[in-house]
Amino acid sequence: MTPTEPDFTGATWFTSSYSDERNAQCVEVAFVPGWVGVRDTKDHGQGPILTFTHTAWTAFLTGVHHNELTHP
């Protein structure tokens, strides 16, 4: 069972190895029990966090891997 409110306090955030300080289109990802958080690197940890359950995150990554996501 996942908690109703994820707590990312003290979480370790990861950025892509392809990102650098000049790339304005990067995100950071953190994992806490039951949840995955995604945030914009430009906000330097001060912006909102999109949260996903581990199941939803896995489904998203699977869709990306299989090129199932389309841009309108």
What's the DSSP call for residue 52?
A: E
Q: Could you tell me which residue, 5 or 51, shows the higher pLDDT?
A: 51
pLDDT of residue 26: 85
pLDDT digits (tens, 9 = 90+) for 19-54: 666 656 788 999 999 999 999 888 888 889 999 999
**CB 13, CB 45: distance < 8 Å:** yes
State the pLDDT at residue 6.
92
Q: How far is CA 53 from the centre of its chain?
A: 11
Rounded to whole angstroms, how far apart are CA atoms 42 and 27? 8
